[in-house]
Amino acid sequence: MTDNPFFEAFSAPFGLPDFDRIEASHFPPAFERALAEEAAAVEEITQNPEPPSFANTIEAFERSGRLLDSVSSVFFNLRASRSEEALEKVARDYAPKLALHRARIAQNEALFARVAALHESREALSLAPDQLRLLERRHRQFVREGALLEPGQKARLLAIEEALASLYTRFGQNLLHDEERGGLVLETGDLEGLPEFLRAAAGEAARERGFEGRFFVPLSRSAVEPFLSFSPRRDLRRMLYEAWTNRGAHQGERDNRPLIREILDLRAAKARLLGYESFAHYQLDEAMAKTPAAALSLLAKVWEPAKRKAEEERALLLSLARREGQNEALEAWDWPYYAEKLRRERFALDAAETKPYFALDKIVAAAFAVAGRLFGLSFHEREDCPRYHPDLRIYEVRDEKGATIGLFLHDNFARPGKRSGAWMGSYRKAQSLDGEVLPIVVNNNNFARGNPTLLSFEDAKTLFHEFGHALHGLLSRVRYPSQSGTAVVRDFVEFPSQLLENWIADKEVLRRYARHFETGEAMPEDLFSRLVAAHRFNQGYLTVEYTAAALFDLALHRDGPAPDLDIDRYEKEFRERIGVPAPIALRHRPAHFQHLFAGAGYAALYYAYLWAEVLDADGFAAFKEAGNIFSPALALRLRRIFEAGDSKEPMELYRAFRAAEPQLAPLLESRGLETAEKRVEDPADWSKKEGPLSSTEKRRRRRR
């Protein structure tokens, strides 16, 4: 046994990382060896005297970074789930090194020459469909990462990538710092109006942080939103809301706002180097939408009916607030409180009544049961596996024949040192290039711990959403690791996850698994009916806060930063331009918008959730039309999407499943939004046509 677990095969069952042995000090030497190994493998490919072939170039490149993939997956997953200063230091040191390493490979002239030669003769190579797609995508990736640039331009791009990696790391670390240190400390007298589940969660959060005898609301969405919905104390709601929305926006060395300007400048420079009009054009060129105009067109079709719906909702809430004696303007910290009151008034329904039926363990069981009904999967908890934290639960996943297909890791609770939000990650991806490799995927949520832990209906949907991503990774059946699981274009990756949310709202699923945590009784029919009826409630607000954030993202990356960009002022002026109702904030304000600024994955692509929801609503309509949401024939066609990863073009996969083009109407219907009567021109200039292509862009597209 070596001193470093990464320098030998993991000894845990199924090749799970040896979490009980891995320490922060193991990562620097592991990264150094992994970087050197991949560089040597690339050198071997480029020095091969044989003419380039798919096997000695493309497949050899697929094999080249195995140790780096292993070290990186463990490091970045651990850092998100169980951060500590030692890991953060490694991140600060190695994020720019990793970015520079990747960029240098992308700009390796000898490697690209071999890829380009294969791409040029691809029709004569008799490749299988997955191989042809891999070759085309690999060639395109090299071009998009600067393979065709002049030497001076390549050097500039390397510097940009290195700087961006450092900025992304700093942005995420600043945000984690605020989330760990922020929150609302409460005394017993501050708990007026709070339901028991919220009091219990606040008590548990206080004990975890050493606030004995007091209560604490941490800055996680699953804790903040219930408090804003139930606390009658307007002063406390405002304090918590401002702490929540101002994460990352505090004067000093941890202020994320100056970083945003630097990130935007560098992204715009990168796009110009590569011949694109803007960073939005660069990002969208690799998505299903293809252009900012197409993405904006979709958002615009939803924006106007959403605004109208939100204004109707605001009028109702304001009337309720006036009846209850609040004469001040309706503010953002008031909306959830009065919306919850109106929900109770209109539907005789509130979260305190429904939460007892959404115990975490039952909802997990429901998710597993749905995966069983749809795909024949079963989940078997393993107690013999090492864990990186006691919260973690590990399951062996088997198919309908009893064969193991992978491991599923479930990490559901908020805690200090854990990134906020909810996400899926992979410790190992499925592939069969040199024999079958089983996937190891993880779902992270940030639920407030209770005894038992009770979820809101939205929390339950979040669990199903992330589980949909996990199934995308677990069911993947591809040959090549770069095509595995969720390695698809950004506006398709959310389709499987959002589609799965529909099953937690199904009456059959709820009748069996939505059971009272104390009595074990099923959710009463009347309560279920009210829950379903309330589904469209407040959809104007929810659609506006999301769509405004997506429009903000696109505008910021399409127009580029002004020389004197003040991000707070830009946000304020943008809200005024598009007419965001005053009491509604963007879903994520700039200084904590991790999707955009802690990495580039969703930059100029935050609209992807809406595009995926179009596919989701249209796709689930197929199950409803079949009269069986577990239709075996449809489930089999859906499974092919989960299995295919990026081995096929996304719309081809969707058409094969749906046998038709996706339609917008099911989305508007599901959100209770009427179709916009007309296309409205507004200051955001959504109908802006694509500008004339630059000469560089014309040449680049001809080459592609």
Query: Per residue in 165-199, pLDDT tens?
Result: 999 999 999 999 999 889 999 999 999 999 998 99
What is the pLDDT at residue 680? Answer: 31
**pLDDT tens digits along 313-349:** 999 999 999 999 999 999 999 999 999 999 888 888 8
Q: Measured between alpha carbons, how far is 535 from 54 in angstroms, rounded to an integer? A: 51
The dihedrals phi and psi of 187, each to the nearest 5 degrees, come to -95, 170
Q: Measured between alpha carbons, how far is 538 from 660 in angstroms, rounded to an integer? A: 31
**Contact status, residue 588 vs residue 549, Cβ threshold 8 Å:** yes
Residue with tokens 């975490």: 360
Residue with tokens 């929801």: 613
List for the chain the helix, strand, coil content (%; round to 5).
60, 5, 35
The tokens describing 628, both together, are 């069986």
Lowest mean pLDDT among 187-196, 263-272, 374-383, 529-538: 529-538
Question: pLDDT-derived band of residue 684, with 50, 70 and 90 as boundaries?
Answer: very low
* Long-range Cβ contacts of 637-644 (<8 Å, 24+ apart): 638/374, 638/499, 639/374, 639/375, 639/475, 641/495, 641/496, 642/375, 642/471, 642/472, 642/475, 642/476, 642/496, 643/475, 643/476, 643/477, 643/478, 644/477, 644/478
Q: Measured between alpha carbons, how far is 388 from 518 in angstroms, rounded to an integer? A: 31
- Active-site option among 466, 494, 545, 571: 466
**pLDDT tens digits along 403-437:** 999 999 999 999 988 988 899 999 999 999 999 99
Q: At what angle do helices 221-230 and 196-208 cross, to 10 degrees?
A: 140
Q: Sign (positive/negative) of CA torsion 32, 35, 37, 39?
A: negative
Q: Which helix (H) or strand (E) holds 424?
A: strand 423-428
Question: pLDDT-derived band of residue 562, with 50, 70 and 90 as boundaries?
Answer: confident
Upper half-sphere CA count for residue 149 (Cβ side, 13 Å): 25
**pLDDT tens digits along 132-156:** 999 999 999 999 999 999 999 999 9
Q: Is a pLDDT exceeding 60 seen at residue 676?
A: no
Active-site residue, 466 included = yes
What is the pLDDT at residue 57? Answer: 98
Residue 244: helix, strand or coil by DSSP?
Answer: helix
What is the pLDDT at residue 698? Answer: 38
What is the pLDDT at residue 682? Answer: 34
Q: Measured between alpha carbons, how far is 425 from 670 in angstroms, rounded to an integer? A: 29
Q: Is a pLDDT exceeding 90 seen at residue 2?
A: no
**Contact status, residue 405 vs residue 436, Cβ threshold 8 Å:** no
Exposure string over 236-257, b if 16+ CB within 10 A, otherwise e: bbeebbebbbebbbbeeebebb
What is the pLDDT at residue 697? Answer: 39
Q: Measured between alpha carbons, how far is 291 from 12 in angstroms, rounded to an integer? A: 46
Q: Measured between alpha carbons, how far is 647 from 479 in angstroms, rounded to an integer? A: 9
What is the pLDDT at residue 451? Answer: 87
Residue 393: helix, strand or coil by DSSP?
Answer: strand
Q: Measured between alpha carbons, how far is 329 from 314 in angstroms, rounded to an integer? A: 11
The tokens describing 223, both together, are 């804790």
Domain 277-326+539-670 and domain 355-536, same fold? Reply is yes
Residue 454: helix, strand or coil by DSSP?
Answer: strand
Higher pLDDT pick, 469 / 672: 469
Residue 256: helix, strand or coil by DSSP?
Answer: coil
Q: Is a pLDDT exceeding 80 seen at residue 679?
A: no
Out of 1.10.1370.40, 2.40.220.10, 3.40.1410.10, 3.30.9.10, select the CATH number for domain 355-536: 1.10.1370.40
Question: pLDDT-derived band of residue 691, with 50, 70 and 90 as boundaries?
Answer: very low
CA 429 to chain centroid, in Å, comes to: 18
Q: Is a pLDDT exceeding 70 seen at residue 678?
A: no
pTM: 0.87
Q: What percent of the chain has pLDDT over 70?
A: 95
Q: Is a pLDDT exceeding 80 seen at residue 687?
A: no
**Contact status, residue 541 vs residue 339, Cβ threshold 8 Å:** yes
CA 59 to chain centroid, in Å, comes to: 29
What number is the average pLDDT over the span 483-489?
96
What is the pLDDT at residue 532? Answer: 82
Superfamily of domain 277-326+539-670: Neurolysin, domain 3 (1.10.1370.10)
Mean residue pLDDT across the chain: 92
Does domain 5-176 match CATH 1.10.1370.40?
A: yes
Picking from 376, 367, 371, 372, the residue whose alpha carbon sits closest to that of residue 410 is 367
**Contact status, residue 202 vs residue 215, Cβ threshold 8 Å:** yes
**143: CB partners within 8 A, 6+ apart:** 700, 703, 704
Picking from 233, 1, 122, 23, the residue whose alpha carbon sits closest to that of residue 704 is 122
What number is the average pLDDT over the span 98-115?
96
What is the pLDDT at residue 164? Answer: 96
Pairing of strands 440-447, 423-428: antiparallel
Residue with tokens 């990774």: 473
Question: pLDDT-derived band of residue 674, with 50, 70 and 90 as boundaries?
Answer: low
Pairing of strands 393-398, 423-428: unpaired
Picking from 646, 675, 673, the residue whose alpha carbon sits closest to that of residue 286 is 646
**Contact status, residue 183 vs residue 213, Cβ threshold 8 Å:** no
**pLDDT tens digits along 459-477:** 999 999 999 999 999 999 9
Q: How far apart are the first and last CA of the chain?
A: 49
What is the pLDDT at residue 60? Answer: 98
Question: pLDDT-derived band of residue 529, with 50, 70 and 90 as boundaries?
Answer: confident
DSSP conformation letters of 160-207:
HHHHHHHHHHHHHHHHHHHHHH-EEEE-GGGGTT--HHHHHHHHHHHH
What number is the average pLDDT over the span 525-531?
88
Q: Measured between alpha carbons, how far is 592 from 257 in angstroms, rounded to an integer? A: 9
Higher pLDDT pick, 695 / 153: 153
Per residue, what are the HEC states of 40-106? HHHHHHHCCCCCCCHHHHHHHHHHCCHHHHHHHHHHHHHHHHCCCHHHHHHHHHHHHHHHHHHHHHH
Per residue, what are the HEC states of 354-382? HHHHCEHHHHHHHHHHHHHHHHCCEEEEC
CA 274 to chain centroid, in Å, comes to: 27
Q: Is a pLDDT exceeding 90 seen at residue 399?
A: yes
**pLDDT tens digits along 197-240:** 899 999 999 998 899 899 999 998 889 999 999 999 999 999 99
β-bridge partners, 437: 431
Lowest mean pLDDT among 76-80, 493-497, 592-596, 684-688: 684-688
Domain boundaries, the chain: 5-176, 183-245, 277-326+539-670, 355-536
Q: How many Cβ atoms are within 10 Å of 155's Cβ, its own excluded?
A: 13
